[in-house]
Structure 1
Amino acid sequence: MQKSIYLYSIGAWIMLVILAIINGIIRNSFYSRQLGELLAHQVSTIVFCITIIAFSYLFFKYSGATGTRKDYLYIGLMWLCLTVAFEFLFGHYIAGHTWEHLLADYNVFKGRIWILVLIITATAPSISYWMIKHRS
């Protein structure tokens, strides 16, 4: 196990949080009114999923941090746990959202597809590992 890849990955996750905030600002500032809240949420979710994969690939390819396939799997799980913890703890205790409001983004039966972000967050490091190994 390479400790440095895990430390680098925490820094990368912090960058993903910043990119998520930028994504939300762009959504709310530019296209939410025109598309409506639900469609804007869906577009923003897809855009952020693509961003996560692209960022993850570029980060792991160029950061110099190396690890095994298992390391990348663990990093994805670490990112998933950090994301869920941040979303609920920050969202509730800092941003003041109710638990119901926070859980609403997980209701796929109402068109909420935020769960895709969590799936991509968990798998992006492994996908990146595969892409790097098969393109080298």
Structure 2
Amino acid sequence: MPLTVILKGLAIWLGILVLAMANGVLRETVLLPWLGAPGALILSGVLLSALILAVAYASLPWLQLRQTWQRLAVGLGWLVLTLVFEFSFGLWQGKSRAELLMPYTFKDGNLWPLVLVVTALAPSIAARLKPRR
């Protein structure tokens, strides 16, 4: 894969990271007090998934990924970057292994595993949503 595609994919992922952090702030400050844990986690997961898909959709022309394997590679790259960030940041905060793995249990409506699947498949899903020319 060309270096330009890798760098563009990284830039897009950094934008997704900013949106994910904003989504977390929204969840903690507005949604949790308003909806409680299950409702806030579900709405936050759906919102973040939609944001990731929207970013992938908007960035497809810039990325110029012509083949399915390229879209899958970019999505899997985003997934790996996300997991590395999540676990590194959690370890830096001193979280235990149990605390790091809690979001992967669907407890209290947490949709984090589905958000990760959307992240990995977002470029491919976005390409299917684009109108054919």
- TM-score normalised to the size of structure 2? 0.90
Taking the aligned partners of 1:109 and 1:26, their CA distance within structure 2 comes to 19
Counterpart amino acid of residue 118 in structure 1: L
Question: Is structure 2 residue 36 aligned with structure 1 residue 36?
Answer: yes
Give the match's secondary structure for 2:29.
helix
RMSD: 1.6
Percent identity, please. 33
How far apart, CA to CA, are the structure 2 residues paired with 1:100 and 1:44? 22
Residue-pair matches, total:
132
2:51 is aligned to 51
Q: Tell me the residue number matched to 2:3.
A: 3
Quote how far apart the aligned CAs of 1:28 are: 1.2
Match of 2:119 in 1: 121
CA contact (8 A) 1:2 1:66 kept: no
| Cα deviation, residue 34, structure 1 | 1.8
The C-alpha deviation readout for 1:1-51, integer Å capped at 9, x for no partner, is 333122100110011110000001111111211211232111101110011
**1:84 matches 2:83:** yes
Alignment of 1:4-19 (within 5 A): 4-19=4-19
Structure 1 residue ranges without an equivalent (≥5):
none
In structure 2, what residue type is equivalent to 1:9? Answer: G
Aligned-partner residue type, residue 113 of structure 2:
I
Moved more, 66-75 or 115-124: 66-75
Cα distance between partner residues in 2 of 1:43 and 1:114: 11
- The whole-number CA distance in structure 2 between the counterparts of 1:101 and 1:135 is 44
Distance 2:87 2:75 in 1: 18
**2:104 alignment partner, SS class:** coil
Q: 2:98 aligns with which of 97, 100, 111?
A: 100
Per mean C-alpha deviation after superposition, the further-off stretch among 34-43 and 8-17 is 34-43
Q: Match of 1:89, as an amino acid?
A: S
Change (3 A) 1:110 1:31: closer
Cα distance in 2 for residues equivalent to 1:29 and 1:50: 20
Contact 2:41/2:109 (CA < 8 Å) preserved in 1? no
Map 1:15-30; keep pairs closer than 5 Å. Answer: 15-30=15-30
